[in-house]
Amino acid sequence: MSDYKESKDNPLHKEFGVLKNTGYILKKMAQYQPSAIFLSVLGLVCNSVFSYFWGIFGKYVIDIIQSGEGADAETRLMYLILAAGSVAAVLTFGGYYSGMKVWYRLIAVRMNMITERIAKVLDLKYEFLEKPDVLDVAERASQATNDNQNGVEGMMHIMYDLGQNGLTVIVTFVAVTVLDPRLIIAMVVLTALQYAYFRHIIKIDKERVWDKLSGSWRSRHYMERITQDFDFGKDIRLFGLSGFLTDKFNDVYSEFVAKNDLHHKFWLRYNFVTAAGGTILKGLIYVVLYVAVFQKNMSVGNFTMFLAFALAFAGALINFLQRFGDYRRASLQTDDFRSFTELELDDDEKETVPVPDTDHYEIEFKNVSYRYLKADRDALSGLDLKIRPGEKLAVVGLNGAGKTTMIKLLLRLYDPTEGLITLNGTDIRKFKREEYYRLFAPVFQDVEIFAFLMSENIAMQSREELDADRVLLAANEAGLEEKIRSLTKGIDTPLTKIVEDDGVDLSGGEKQKLALAKALYKGARIVVLDEPTAALDALAEQTLYERFDEMIGDKSAVYISHRLASTRFCDHIAMFEEGRMVEYGTHEELMEKKGKYAEMFAVQAQYYKEQQGNEESGVTVNA
């Protein structure tokens, strides 16, 4: 039983309080499953009444038996039994019906709240996905919707328990007060002591068991992940790591066993104290009732009824206090959910203008700099660069030169720290991101495959919405024709085996072709290739670039690479180094300049020649 870890140190974290969160959860229930509220009330009333119902019934049965009215008493007893049986049946059915109908409705509420959280994630600006504070509240919002015992659904379940126990306490409190007010005081004191010990056990259990196991949890999850991860499978088998990893598992689990023993010792101690307290409490109840019977002439029937009321009161009060602690914890987790879904970040799209409706787009970087969060220097500094309509621009440089940062700024995944980027003379921050994104067809180095159909991966649309002919044309132009012919379901084959058992996995080269097909299908006016061919050898990369250049025709294109396979057919080349554009011009101009670009080209050209010679002689260099 792990206590909740608060996150008040996060400036984005907000505290709403138990009462406000209760109202919030009730609104969500009313919004998504309004019948769940009625069913919950029905269940808690039925279960509450049922907890002391037989005591009331027993009183009247005993009263009738003691009345000594002969045949008339038998008739009254029969009617009472029938009436009580009917009421008990109604209460039982009401409680059972509520329990059967409520649980999946509460799950449905949580699922809708998960949808809210996912929608919030999808609406976040890309650069927020790299901010630790945002990631923290997003992760905590996810944890608040992970299961039905904690967080938002936990609040719903515990709210039901609190309502049932609270109603029982209110009803039985009146009855026990009538019996003897001093009994109420004694019961409240004993219950409070039990609750205080309960909180003490929770605290030491957390400190001495669960906090100590935090590192073991991470080790356990890591061990479980790597033993089931396909990427680790080869090393595990080829290096004979089975026994080694099993020993590691045993080390981790031995600590779990020891801490689990300590955990059960704590709660065994609590159960002993609770049993002792319960015995004392029942003893007090019987003493009070004994006095009432022998000194105040209480009837046996009333003895039975007040005994039921007193026991119900004591049980409901301790349960209420214990569950309220859980309720506060669930409320804190609901704070996390609300802190994220109600996150108010800078809204930079309040006043926007339409993206120009034209086929000619000119993009210009004007003294643009960008610095990543907590970095000690700019990743890109003082960039002045113009991309003209229909121009092919090669952006080159070694890894870490600033090329990818420049592309993220171009695509408006980031906004500049300094300077501005314009589209046809207008600051791109004045456009809605969604409209601006439509101008670009990007192909990234890391190709992400969705567990959808191949056609849906290319079109980025559902099967019902996509243009099947366009999808097939784009796939064929990207070089996937042979692969598609080999698949039983063709272009509608599911990819990966995550969702569909008959899904197929693509090779690295096929993934790159799929990404190219995706860009071709989108048909945007500006194409961006961010080192999508890094896994290929230099000659294969150049061939692919030249082929893709033919496909995109007169569209603008930006080719990013730390190799120079794309430069010969580009109109201009921008050479980056340590976050700055150090050279700009055509291939011929930069070669004549004999600077950084010419030096890099000469080194790589020698490699191209050696590789080409090896291939012509039948020697394979690249794996």
Per-residue pLDDT band at 603 (split at 50, 70, 90): confident
Whether the per-residue pLDDT at 238 is higher than 90: the answer is no
Regarding predicted confidence, which is higher, 211 or 610? 211
pLDDT at residue number 458: 94
**Cβ-based burial of 9 (10 A; exposed 0-12, middle 13-18, buried ≥19):** exposed
% of the chain beyond a pLDDT of 90: 37
Instruction: Give the Cβ contact number of residue 229 at 10 Å.
Output: 10
pLDDT in tens, 160-211: 999 999 999 998 888 888 777 877 787 788 888 888 888 888 788 877 887 6
Whether the per-residue pLDDT at 4 is higher than 50: the answer is no
Region 157-161: mean pLDDT is 94
Regarding predicted confidence, which is higher, 317 or 386? 386
- Structure-block tokens of residue 515: 């990404």
- What is the chain's alpha carbon radius of gyration, rounded to the nearest angstrom? 36
**CATH topology agreement for domains 18-341 and 362-439+524-623:** no
CATH for 362-439+524-623 is 3.40.50.300
CB distance 365 to 415 below 8 Å: no
pLDDT at residue number 188: 81
pLDDT at residue number 534: 59
Region 479-483: mean pLDDT is 90
pLDDT at residue number 346: 65
Whether the per-residue pLDDT at 535 is higher than 60: the answer is no
Instruction: Give the burial string for 53-88 (b: 16+ CB within 10 Å, else e).
Output: bebbbbbbbbbbeeeeeeeeeeebbeeeeeebeeee
Instruction: Give the burial string for 324-338 (b: 16+ CB within 10 Å, else e).
Output: bebbebbbbbbbbbb
pLDDT at residue number 2: 39
- Structure-block tokens of residue 439: 């101008």
- Structure-block tokens of residue 264: 């059960």
pLDDT at residue number 5: 45
Whether the per-residue pLDDT at 420 is higher than 50: the answer is yes
pLDDT at residue number 192: 82
pLDDT in tens, 536-559: 666 666 677 777 777 787 889 998
% of the chain beyond a pLDDT of 70: 91
pLDDT at residue number 70: 62
pLDDT at residue number 516: 87
Whether the per-residue pLDDT at 329 is higher than 50: the answer is yes
Region 281-294: mean pLDDT is 79
**Cβ-based burial of 392 (10 A; exposed 0-12, middle 13-18, buried ≥19):** buried
> Which of 517, 503, 353, 488 shows the shortest CA–CA distance to 422?
353
Give the architecture (CATH level 2) of 447-521: 3-Layer(aba) Sandwich (3.40)
CB distance 114 to 157 below 8 Å: no
Q: In CATH, what class is 18-341?
A: mainly alpha
Q: What is the mean pLDDT of the chain?
A: 84
pLDDT in tens, 102-139: 999 999 999 999 999 999 888 888 878 777 888 888 88
pLDDT in tens, 31-40: 999 999 999 9
- Extents of the domains making up the chain: 18-341, 362-439+524-623, 447-521
pLDDT at residue number 538: 62
Per-residue pLDDT band at 592 (split at 50, 70, 90): very high
Residues 358 and 363: their CA atoms lie apart, in Å, by: 13
Whether the per-residue pLDDT at 274 is higher than 70: the answer is yes
Residues 511 and 415: their CA atoms lie apart, in Å, by: 29
Whether the per-residue pLDDT at 80 is higher than 50: the answer is yes
- Structure-block tokens of residue 536: 């290929």
